[in-house]
Amino acid sequence: MDRILNYTVKLRRSRMTKIVRNTLTILFPIMLIGSFAEVLKFTFLTKNGYMARMFGIPYWLPFNNELNWIMGVIFHCTIDMIALYAAYGAAYFTAKEYKKDAARAGAVGLMAFLIISFQPNSAGMPDFSRFLMSEGMLIALVVGYLCSRILVIFGNSQLDRRNQVILPVIIIIILSSLLNFLGIVMIKLEIPTYVASFVMQHTQINALFYVLGMGTLTDLLSWMAVGGPFTNSPTFTDTPSMANLSAALKAGSPWKVPYNFTDTTLFHSFANFGGTGVTLALIIAILIFSKKPRNRNVSKWAIFPAIFNNDYPMMLGIPVLFNPIYLIPFVVAPLINMIIAALFITLRLIPAAVYPVPVGTPGPLIGFIGTNGNWLTLVLGIFLIILDVLIYMPFVRLSDQISTRAGQINEED
């Protein structure tokens, strides 16, 4: 146990980890404000948002459209292009680790990422791949890091000073233009439609394993800052959902529907409380068990967005992203939730969640509204959150221990 602890501490102090952690630290305030704006825009001020529906906010709030616009601007320039900042940060902190001109490296990293994701629109205006901008954080980190390393290599070479700066920039521009040309901007995970067709063509039990697998993949990928097969909120427009809804409306109850196991009935209704990885449980676990003021502070800030299933502040603030300690509970907790929920559905204790819910409905209420107010579903949701808090508990304590020990070793240096 002690050896694992020491190993993690060592890992924590490696160059790579430092670069990533420092980058995430500068991204945190941007992401936090962005997530507040996103929640306000889509949940409070847009007609099909949860709070908007429940309280009719857009109908009585003065300046609703203006506020909505402002929140939209903030959201699009923060969360929606977070990879941009990541490319800058990664390049900046890499150069800093190697004791080179960090500001220049940051600018070059930013430029390289912009070139890679450039995609002119039909009017000829500059435009950038939305996927890379909003979900390409991993790629941005790699791009920033590599740019910085190229600059460092040239900085240490025997070339004269002018070439030391110009040559690497030329090489980086050529390489990133080539990447752009080769169509890296076309990268897109187009799995959702595939998920829908799989669920429809296979038996219930196959569909169950498939949904569990895809859910786990989604959690794993979001731990690596890449968008997974399941979107962040249920859409209700895919064919199995429509079929379920139509069957339920015909029968007048959700108990007998054709597709019991879909991303909506399992993943969104039970495995996504507070965002991917049951982030709500992590927040509660930290508030109860952690003694680190920094983590407690981040968690308090993250409560508001997490209620409406926005997990960005926790992902970057703690951080959960690329954090080996939290990988296990982040993947296991949602998986256990889905398995237990599937069991309840199979035993016909709860119906499948089929009715559409508004955007940003708080996690445990998705299943509750989706079953038109089945109380056992709500109770099960609350029970699962408690269970998930217990799953997160040892890891929160471990994380505390590691950061204490890392702090001690730092002081010994």
Partner 1 sequence: MKKIKVWFWIIISVILSVTMVSISLNWSRASVTDLTKLHNSRLSPVIMIPGSSASVDRFDTLVKKLNKNNRNPHSLIKVRVTTDDKLHFSGRLRQGDNEPIIVVGFQNNHDGYDNIKKQARWFNLAFKSLTKQYAFNNFKVIGHSNGGLIYTTFLEKYYASYSSQIKLKQLMTIGSPYNFNEKSVRHKTQMLSDFIKNRDKIPSSLSVYSVAGTETYNSDGLVPLGSVMAGKYIYQGRVKHFTTISVSGSDAQHSDLPQNDQIIDLINRYILDPKQLPKNLQNTNNLDNSPKLK
How far apart are the C-alpha atoms of 237 and 341, rounded to whole Å? 22
E strands along 334-387, which residues?
A: none
In this chain, which stretch among 21-29, 50-58, 84-92, 338-346 interacts with partner 1, using CB under 8 A? 50-58
CA dihedral for 268, 269, 270, 274, sign (positive or negative): positive
- CA 391 to chain CA centroid, nearest Å: 20
Coil, strand or helix: which one is 287? helix
Least distance to partner 1, CB of residue 35, Å: 20
**Pairwise CA distance, residues 158 & 155, whole Å:** 8
Least distance in Å: CB of 372 to partner 1? Answer: 5
Q: Is 3 in the site for partner 1 (CB under 8 A)?
A: no
Question: By CB under 8 A, which span of 49-57, 134-142, 194-202, 255-263 interacts with partner 1?
Answer: 49-57
Interaction between residue 54 and partner 1 (CB under 8 A): yes
In the complex with partner 1, the residue whose CB is nearer, 82 or 280, is 280
Instruction: Please select the residue that binds partner 1; options are 28, 267, 368, 392, rule is CB under 8 A.
Output: 368
From 118, 255, 355, 383, residue interacting with partner 1 (rule: CB under 8 A) = 355
| Nearest-angstrom CA–CA distance, 232 and 218 | 10
Residue from 352, 369, 384, 396 binding partner 1 (CB under 8 A): 369
Using the rule CB under 8 A, give the single segment among 136-144, 202-210, 216-224, 249-257 that binds partner 1: 249-257
Question: Cα separation of 11 and 304, whole Å?
Answer: 32
Q: Which stretch binds partner 1 (CB under 8 A): 226-234, 247-255, 289-297, 318-326?
A: 247-255
Reading phi first (left if > 0) and then psi (alpha if -120 to 50, else beta), residue 68 is in alpha
Closest by CA to 230, choosing from 189, 290, 258, 186, is: 189
Specify the residue, 124 or 252, whose C-beta has the smaller distance to partner 1: 252
Tell me the HSE value of 40 on the side-chain side, using a 13 A CA sphere: 19
CB-CB contact of 362 with 310 (8 Å):
no
Q: Work out which of 233, 361, 377, 399 binds partner 1, going by CB under 8 A.
A: 361
Among 61, 378, 387, 406, binds partner 1 (CB under 8 A): 378
243, 356, 398, 405: which one contacts partner 1 (CB under 8 A)? 356
Is 365 one of the binding residues for partner 1 (CB under 8 A)? yes
Q: Are 395 and 332 in contact (CB under 8 A)?
A: no
Of 51-59, 69-77, 226-234, 405-413: span binding partner 1 (CB under 8 A): 51-59
Contact pattern for partner 1 over residues 264 through 293, marking x by CB under 8 A: ------------------------------
How many whole angstroms separate alpha carbon 337 and alpha carbon 282? 14
Q: What are phi and psi of 118, to 5 degrees?
A: -65, 135
Residue 237 touches partner 1, criterion: CB under 8 A: yes
In whole angstroms, give the CA distance from residue 262 to residue 239.
11
Spatial contact of 81 and 62, defined as CB atoms under 8 Å apart: no
Q: Please name every residue paired with 49 in a beta bridge, in sequence order, or none if there are none.
A: 359
CB of 53 to partner 1, least distance (A): 6
Number of residues this chain uses to bind partner 1 (CB under 8 A): 19
Q: Which of 136, 362, 388, 391 binds partner 1 (CB under 8 A)?
A: 362
Shortest Å, Cβ 281 to partner 1: 15
Residue 350 within binding range of partner 1, rule CB under 8 A = no
Cβ proximity to partner 1, 319 vs 351, nearer residue: 351
Burial 324-363, CB ≥16 within 10 A → b, else e: ebbbebbbbbbebbbeebbebbeeeebbbbbbbbbbbbbb
252 is an interface residue for partner 1 by CB under 8 A:
yes
Q: Do 229 and 217 touch, CB atoms closer than 8 A?
A: yes
**Is 379 a binder of partner 1 (CB under 8 A)?**
no
Please give the residue ranges that form the binding site for partner 1 (CB under 8 A): 53-55, 237, 245-246, 249-250, 252, 355-356, 361-362, 365, 368-369, 372-373, 378
